[in-house]
């Protein structure tokens, strides 16, 4: 008795990078922007794809030159998990604030552009909003 052949799974579609900028001139606060929250400046590169947003911590220049270290992913948020996004202004700088679900909890992050990267942050918000609006409705 022969078994029916199983259809092989189709490989996933390639992930398309939409926007990438930083790490110099980017500030990241894990929460809403505030004077009293600790933020990290000039340490993260922002990568937006058609499936997720990533914060890639870039090693210092010296570590890169001498140890050939690559960046490590500090945050990887699927677009499907984003609950809300806003464009804010903090001390005259544009900020993208994200809220997403992570299991049963929600988390927040704020990304701001300094040193001439304000336009990139604005573009990040515009692209995020378009991707979120285009995603299929969830269950």
Q: What percent of the chain has pLDDT over 70?
A: 82
For 93-117, write each residue's pLDDT tens digit: 899 999 999 999 999 999 988 777 8
> Can you give the pLDDT at residue 65?
46
For 2-55, write each residue's pLDDT tens digit: 565 666 677 777 889 999 988 788 888 888 887 777 777 778 889 999 999 999
Average pLDDT on 68-74 reads 71
> Can you give the pLDDT at residue 122?
94
d(CA 21, CA 31): 20
| Helix, strand, or coil (residue 63) | helix
pTM of the prediction? Answer: 0.80
41-77 burial, b at 16+ Cβ within 10 Å, e below that, comes to: eebbbbbbbebbbbbbebbeeeeeeeeeeebeeebeb
Average pLDDT on 119-135 reads 93
> Can you give the pLDDT at residue 68?
52
Identify how many contiguous H helices and E strands the chain contains and give both numbers: 2, 9
């Amino acid at each position: 008795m022969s078994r029916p052949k199983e259809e092989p799974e189709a490989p996933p579609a390639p992930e398309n990078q939409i926007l990438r900028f930083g790490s110099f001139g980017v500030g990241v606060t894990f929460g809403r922007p505030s004077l009293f929250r600790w933020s990290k400046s000039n340490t993260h590169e922002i990568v937006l794809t058609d499936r997720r947003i990533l914060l890639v911590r870039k090693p210092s220049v010296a570590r890169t030159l001498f140890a050939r270290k690559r960046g490590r992913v500090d945050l990887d948020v699927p677009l499907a998990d984003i609950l809300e996004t806003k464009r804010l202004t903090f001390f005259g700088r544009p900020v993208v604030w994200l809220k997403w679900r992570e299991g049963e909890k929600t988390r927040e992050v704020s990304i701001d552009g300094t040193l001439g990267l304000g336009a990139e942050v604005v573009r990040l918000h515009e692209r995020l909003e378009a991707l979120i609006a285009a995603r299929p409705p969830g269950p």
